[in-house]
Structure 1
Amino acid sequence: MSDVRVIIQRDSEREERVVTTGTTAADLFAGERTIVAARVGGELKDLAYQVRDGEEVEPVEISSEDGLNILRHSTAHVMAQAVQELFPEAKLGIGPPVKDGFYYDFDVERPFTPEDLKAVEKKMQEIQKRGQRFSRRVVTDEAAREELADEPYKLELIGLKGSASSDDGADVEVGAGELTIYDNLDAKTGDLCWKDLCRGPHLPTTRNIPAFKLMRNAAAYWRGSEKNPMLQRIYGTAWPSKDELKAHLDFLAEAEKRDHRKLGNELDLFSIPDQIGSGLAVFHPKGGIIRRVMEDYSRRRHEEEGYEFVYTPHATKGKLFETSGHLDWYADGMYPPMQLDEGVDYYLKPMNCPMHNLIFDARGRSYRELPLRLFEFGTVYRYEKSGVVHGLTRARGFTQDDAHIYCTKEQMAEELDKTLTFVLNLLRDYGLTDFYLELSTKDPEKFVGSDEVWEEATETLRQVAEKQGLPLVPDPGGAAFYGPKISVQAKDAIGRTWQMSTVQLDFNLPERFDLEYTGPDGSKQRPVMIHRALFGSIERFFAVLLEHYAGAFPAWLAPVQAVGIPIGDAHVDYLHTFAAEAKKRGLRVEVDSSSDRMQKKIRNAQKQKVPFMVIAGDEDMANGAVSFRYRDGSQENGIPVDEAIAKIAKIVEERAQV
C-alpha cells in the first residue's frame, strides 16, 4: 500500500494527514457521529468515498445545510422503498429534499389516504431499524435503461443526464455528468433490497436517520408541467434529533393556528370564492376596514415623503408590453390577450412600471423636477400556476404599493438611502421590527448595461444597506438582468422570514422607453430608475400581518376597536351612548345587545380578538363610568367615560402595540 496525503479542511483550520491507499472519508472522521458526508474538491461525496493523494476533504455535519439535504434525501429514498413494498404497482417519480423536509412523487392507481400514510411511515420505521446500507454505483445509460425498464419516469430522466434542472427536482437524480444508482443493501447479507436512480450522496445507512415524520399528500404534475400526468406526492420531514423534530412539529402547529386563510374565515375578513376564481380574493367589511387603514396610513406617509399619486388602468394594448419587454420574458406569467378594436391584443397588466414610464414621458422633463417619485396602489394580474396559488400570499390578482423614482445619477445614492430608510421605518410602524437585508448582484450570464455601471450601482447599494446597521446577506447572481437590488427580509412573531420590500435599480426600461430629461447644460440625459414595492402587495402584507398578530391586530388596525358589553338589558342604551361619543373621536366601537349572557359576550369578543371590552352595570351608570377588560383578561374598573374614550383614542393615535 502506498501513502496518500490529504488536507482536512475545517472552517479556517487545515490539517495535513498521511493515510494509506483505500482510506475512506469515513475513516478520516471515524468516531465523529455527526459527520454524514464529505466535500472533496468542492463536490459532495459519500463517506464511503476513497480519498486520493492531494485532495482537500471537508467534513459535512448533519446539521449543516448540505447535511440536512443529505439526511432528507436519504429519508425520501426510504419512503419510496416503503411505498413500493406496500404498493408494488407504484411507479417512481422524483424525490428531492426541500425546505425543512422532502417529498417523493408516485404514479399510483388511486390517491393515498391518511391510513396509507400511517402504513408507509410504519414501514419506513422498519426499514430504518434494519440499517440498510446506501451503496453507490456508476452505470451506463444502456445499463440504467435496462435496470429501470419498468420505471417510465426514470427512463425519461436518463435522457436528461447532466442537464437536469433544480426547478423540478430532476437534478437530484441525474444532475451530474454520469449516471449512478443507489442500492439499499441488507446490513447482514448484502442482498439488494431496493434501488433508485440518484446522483447522491446519501447517509451511510438507514439507521443514520434519527427522526422523521410524514406530513401530508397532494396531487402534483410530473416535473411541474400541467401538460404532464398527475402524480401523487407525499411530503415528509426529517431532523438530526427527535427533539428537533418535535420543535419543528410544534412550530408547524403554531403556524397552522396563525394560517391567514383559517383566520380570514374565522374573523370574517376575506374569502376567495370559487365563482370568481383561484387566487382572486374579495375583502369583507371587517377586512376592508383593516385594508383601508393600512392604505390610508401608507398614503399619508408617502405624501410626507414627497411621493406623487398616480392612477393607471388595469388593461392595455399589447404594444406597451412589447416596448417594455414583458412579452419577451414574462408572457407565461400573464393572462392571455383579449382581442378588441378589430383584432388588437389587450392584456391585463402584470406590472405597473410601463405605465409609470409613460407618465414620466408624457411631457418634457427638466433636472429641476427630479427626483420624481410616482406612487400607485396599482392592481396587477399574474397567471400563477394553480399549484403555487396560496391564499393571499400567492395570488393571481393583487394590488401593489408600487413606486417608481426617477432621478439623476448624482441623486441616486441619496435617493436610495432615503428610500430604504423610509421602507424600514414604515414597516416598523406596522409592527415588524426584526430585519435583515439581502443584496442581489449581477448574474454574469444575464445582464444589460456595462460592468462599470453595475459595479458602481452595486457598491452604492452596498453602502446604503450597510448604513442601516442591519445584517447584510449577499445573493450573488440573484439580481434580475436589468439591475441590482436590496430586499428587506422580515421575521414575524414566530421567527418565520418573509421577503417584504424591494429597492431595485433598473438600467433597462429607461433605455427601452427612451426616457430623457434636460440637464443643466441643456443636453438630453437618461434618468436613473428605481423600482420600489414596500409591502410587495397589499394582499400579501395583509396576510403577513394577520399571521404575525395571529389575528389580534393592534387597536389602530383592528376592525372593531372596542365592544360594549352590558351586564343587563338596562345598560344597553348607556353603552350605545358611550359608543356614539367614541365614534365622534373616530373610534370603531360596537355594542353587543344580543340576548346572550355576559360571559358568552366576553367569549365572543375574545374570539373576534377585539382589543378592548367596555363593560357597564348599575354602578358604572351611576358614576358615569365603565369597566375596561383587555384581551389578556386583565381589567380596570370605574373609569370615567371621557377618560376611557381618551385612553382608547391615545392608544390608536400612537399605534401602540397592545
Structure 2
Amino acid sequence: MSDIQVVLVTADAREERTTTTGTKAWELFAEDPSIIVARVNGELRDLSHELADGDEVEGVAIDSPDGLAVLRHSTAHVMAQAVQELFPDAKLGIGPPVTDGFYYDFDVETPFVPEDLEKIESRMRKIIKEGQKFSRRVTSDHDAIAELKDEPYKIELIGLKGSGKSDDAAEGASVEVGAGELTIYDNIRRNGDVAWSDLCRGPHLPTTKRIPAFKLMRTAAAYWRGNEKNKQLQRIYGTAWPSKEDLEAYLHRLEEAERRDHRKLGRDLDLFSFPDEIGSGLPVFHPKGGVIKRVMEDYVRQRHTEEGFEYVGTPHISKEGTFHLSGHLPYYADGMFPPMEFEGENYYLKAMNCPMHNLIYRSRGRSYRELPLRLFEFGHVYRYEKSGVIHGLTRVRGFAQDDSHSYCTPEQAPEEVAHLLSFMLGVLRDFGLDDFYLELSTRDDSKPDKFVGSNEQWETATKVLEQVCADSGLELVPDPGGAAFYGPKVSVQAKDAIGRTWQMGTVQYDFNQPEGFDLQYQAADGTRKQPVMIHSAKFGSIERFLGVLVEHYAGAFPPWLAPVQVQAIPIAERHEDYLWDVAKRMRKEGLRVEVDDSTDRMQKKIRNAQLQKVPFMMIAGDDDLAAGAVSFRYRDGRQDNGVPIEEAIARVREAVAARTQV
C-alpha cells in the first residue's frame, strides 16, 4: 500500500486528504448515513468505487436531486427482481428514474392487475430487508449477450450501443447502457449468492436496505422504445423517498392534486368540455368558463396597451411559403397539422403568430424612431400534439396565445427583454402566482443541424438573456439544448398552491426571422439595418394558464375572476323581488350576480353556492327586507347578519377591485 492524495469537496470548502491505495469512497463518508453515492471527478460513482491519487470526491446525499435519482433507480431494480421472482417468464425492458419516481417495463403474457402490485410490493419489502448488495462489474458486449441470452430487449440495447444509437434507443435507455464500458449490476445476498442481475450503467445504493420508503403506483401499457410499431409492454410505475414522512407527504400531494384536477373541476363547475364530435385537444368554453376567459383577455389586453403594445389581428391559415420564410418548415413541420391543398397551393393552419407579425412590420418602411415597435394579438394557433400527450387544457391542439413581438435595435434588446420579463412577472403576480424561478434554454452545440444562425449570434443573444436574468435577482436554472431553433429563450417556472412547478410565459431572442423576412429599418445615419425580434407570451396560452389557475385555486377563484361573484339567496318566495332589485343594482356596477329562485330550501341553496365556489352570498328574509339589509356570507362560512345593502355592495366591489382571494 502507498499513500495517495484526494480532495474532499463540500459545499463550503475543499479539503486535501491523505489516504492509501485501495480506499473506497464510502470510507470518506462513513460517519454520514445520508450519503449514498459519490461524485468523483464530476462523475457519479458507487460508494464502493476505489479512489485514485488526485481524485476530487464529493458526497451525494439521498435527498439531493442526484441522490433521489439513484434511490429511485435502485428501487426500480428491486422491483424488477421481485417481478422476475414472481413471474419468471417476464422479460426486462428498461427501468429509469423519472420525476418523483421510477418505472420498469416488462414483456409479460398477461397484463398486471392491482393484486399483482400488492404481491410485488410484498416481495420487494423482503428483498429490501435482506440487505442485498448492489455490486458492479464490467463486461464485454460478447459476454453480456451470452449472459443475457434470455433477455431480448437488453440484447437489443447492447446492439444499439455498439452502433452508436443508444441515445435514441428509448426514453431512459441511457441508464442501461450509457456510453463507455458496459456494466452489469448483481444483487448479492449476505451469503455471497447472486440473487439477480441486470444490465445497467449505475450507480446504485450500497445495499437494498438503504431504500427507506417506496410504493408502487399503477400500471400502463408502453410501446418498446416508445415506437408504436414495436411490441406493447407492461409498465409499472412506483415512487421512492428518503423517509416514510416524505412518502406520506408525496401521497398527500397526489390526493390534493386529484382534488384540484382542472378536468374534473371544469366539469363540476360547468366551465369547459372536450366534445368528441369536435376532436381531441379542442376545448369549448361554457358560459361560466367564457366569463373567466373574457376577464383574462380583457385584463391582458389592457396591460399590453399600458406597456406600449399595439393590437393586431391575423388569419388562422396561411400559404406554405410564409412558414418557409420564418424557418418553421422544415424545423417545426412535425408540430404542424398537415397542409390543405387549395387553388394549387398548400395552406397550413398556423402554429405560431410570428410570421404574420413579420409581414405587418414589412408592410411599409420603418425608421429607428419607431423602435421598439411592439405588436400584440390573441392569436389562435393549432399544433399537432400526439394523442398520448394531450391533457385537458394544459396540453391541447388548438389554443389562443397572448402573443407579442417586439422589433428593436440590437442596442435596445437588453432593455426590451428586461421590460418584457418584468411585465410577465407582474401578470403572474396579479393572478396570484408569486413563487417562481427562471429557466434559460440554450443551443445544444452537439446538434448544430437543429439550430440556425452563427456562433456569434447565439453568443450575443444568450449573453443578453443571461444578464437580464441575473439582474432580476431570481434563481436561474440552465436548460442546455432546450432553445427554439431560431434563438435562446427564458421561461418563467411558477409554483402553484401545492408546490408543483408549471412553465408559464417565455421571452425569446430571435435573430433568424428578421433575416428570413428581410426586415429592415432606417438607422439614424441613413443606412438600412436589421432589427432584433423578441417573442413573448405572458400567459403562454390562455387555455393552459386557465387550467393552471383552476388547479392553483382548486376552482375557488378570487372574486375578480369568479364567473359568479355573488349568489343571492331568498329564504322564501316573497323575498325574491327584493334580491332581484339588489342584483340589478350590482349588475349596473359590472358585478356578476345570480339569484337562486329555485324551490330548494335555503340550506340547500347555500350548499349549492358553496359547491360552485361562489365567493359571496347575500341571504334575505323578512327582517332583512324590513331593515334594507342582507345576511352577508363568505365562501369560508363566515357570516355577518344585518349588513345594509350599500355596505354589502361595497364589500363586493372592493374585493373585486383588490384582486385578492377571500
Deviation at 1:306, TM superposition (A): 1.9
Aligned to 2:181: 178
**Residue 539 of structure 1 pairs with residue 539 of structure 2:** no
Q: Please give the alpha-carbon distance, in whole angstroms, between the structure 1 residues aligned to 2:154 and 2:215.
A: 26
Of 204-213 and 403-412, deviating more is 403-412
Indicate the SS of the match to 2:388: coil
Q: Is 1:280 the counterpart of 2:282 in the alignment?
A: yes
Change (3 A) 1:194 1:268: same
Q: Secondary structure at the match of 1:160?
A: helix
Measured in 2, the distance between the counterparts of 1:163 and 1:201 equals 22
Is this contact kept in 1: 2:9–2:58, CA < 8 A? Answer: yes
For the pair 1:47 / 2:47, whether they are aligned, the reply is: yes
| Mapped pair 1:289 → 2:291 | yes
* 1:7 matched to 2:28: no
CA spacing shift, 1:345–1:187, aligned 2, 3 Å: farther
Partner of 1:577: 581
1:174 match: secondary structure:
coil
CA distance 1:563–1:466, shift in 2 (3 Å): same
CA distance in 1, matches of 2:150, 2:376: 58
Distance change >3 Å, CA 275–CA 110, structure 1 → 2: farther
Percent of paired sites with the same residue:
69
In the alignment, is residue 345 of structure 1 matched against residue 383 of structure 2? no
- Following TM superposition, by how much is the alpha carbon of 1:112 offset from its aligned partner in structure 2, in angstroms? 2.1
The worse-fitting range, judged by mean Cα deviation, of 378-387 and 96-105 is 378-387
- Tell me which amino acid in the other structure corresponds to 1:181: I
Structure 2 residue 147 is matched with structure 1 residue 147: yes
Q: Distance in 1 between matches of 2:469 and 2:23?
A: 48
For residue 423 of structure 1, report the CA deviation from its aligned partner. 1.4
**Letter in structure 1 aligned against 2:505:** S
Equivalent residues of 1:25, 1:47 under 8 A apart: yes
> Could you list the runs of 5+ residues in structure 1 that have no partner in the other structure?
none
| Cα separation, 2, equivalents of 1:464 and 1:537 | 24
Q: Secondary structure at the match of 2:18?
A: strand
Residue correspondences, number: 656
| Structure 2: gaps (5+ residues) | none
Are residue 62 (structure 1) and residue 62 (structure 2) matched? yes
* RMSD, aligned CA: 1.9
Matches within 5 A, 1:429-508: 429-445=430-446, 446=448, 448-476=452-480, 478-508=482-512
Change (3 A) 1:125 1:274: farther
- Within the alignment, does 1:262 sit opposite 2:249 as a pair? no
Greater Cα shift, 214-223 or 97-106: 214-223
Show the counterpart of 1:595: 599
Aligned pairs for 1:352-371 within 5 A:
352-371=353-372
CA shift for structure 1 position 642: 2.7
Q: Compute the displacement of 1:196 (Å).
A: 1.2
Comparing 384-393 and 530-539, the one that deviates more: 384-393
- What is the alpha-carbon distance in structure 1 between the residues aligned to residue 202 and residue 548 of structure 2? 37
Deviation at 1:169, TM superposition (A): 0.7
Provide the C-alpha distance between the structure 2 equivalents of 1:18 and 1:545, rounded to a whole number of angstroms.
56
Secondary structure, aligned partner of 1:11: coil
Partner SS, residue 167 of structure 2: coil
AA in 1 matched with 2:598: S
CA contact (8 A) 2:262 2:547 kept: yes
Give the distance between the partners of 1:64 and 1:584, measured in 2 at CA.
56
Any idea what SS the aligned residue of 1:619 has? Answer: helix
Between the aligned partners of 2:319 and 2:148, the Cα distance in structure 1 is 51
Provide Cα deviations, 1:300-340, integer angstroms capped at 9, x if missing partner.
Answer: 11122221112222222222222222122111222222222
The superposition leaves residues 570-608 of structure 1 with CA deviations (integer Å, 9 ceiling, x where unpaired) of 212221221122111111111111222111111111111
1:276 Cα deviation (Å)?
2.3
- Tell me, in whole angstroms, the C-alpha distance in 2 between the residues paired with 1:655 and 1:59: 47
Amino acid at match of 1:226: E
**Whole-angstrom CA distance in 2 between matches of 1:106 and 1:71:** 20
1:387 counterpart SS class: helix
3-state SS in 2 of match to 1:165: helix
Kindly indicate whether the alpha-carbon contact (under 8 Å) linking 2:565 and 2:616 is maintained by their aligned counterparts in 1.
Answer: yes
Q: More deviation in 281-290 or 166-175? A: 166-175
Amino acid across the alignment from 2:394? T
TM-score w.r.t. structure 2 length?
Answer: 0.95
Deviation at 1:453, TM superposition (A): 4.4
Whole-angstrom distance in 1 between the partners of 2:475 and 2:328: 33
3-state SS, counterpart of residue 159 of structure 1 = helix
Within 1, Cα distance between the matches of 2:536 and 2:609?
39
Deviation, 1:98, is 0.8
CA offset at residue 551 of structure 1?
0.5
| One-letter amino acid of the structure 2 residue matched with residue 143 of structure 1 | D
Judge conservation of contact 1:443–1:481 (CA < 8 Å) in 2.
no
Q: Pick one of 612, 619, 630 that aligns with 2:616.
A: 612
For 1:417 and 1:40, locate their aligned partners in 2 and report how far apart those are by CA, in whole Å. Answer: 39
Partner of 1:243: 245
Q: Name the TM-score, length of structure 1 as normaliser.
A: 0.96
Show the counterpart of 1:412.
413
Deviation at 1:647, TM superposition (A): 2.4
The answer to whether residue 40 in structure 2 is matched with residue 36 in structure 1 is no
Report if aligned partners of 1:163, 1:175 keep a CA contact under 8 Å in 2: no
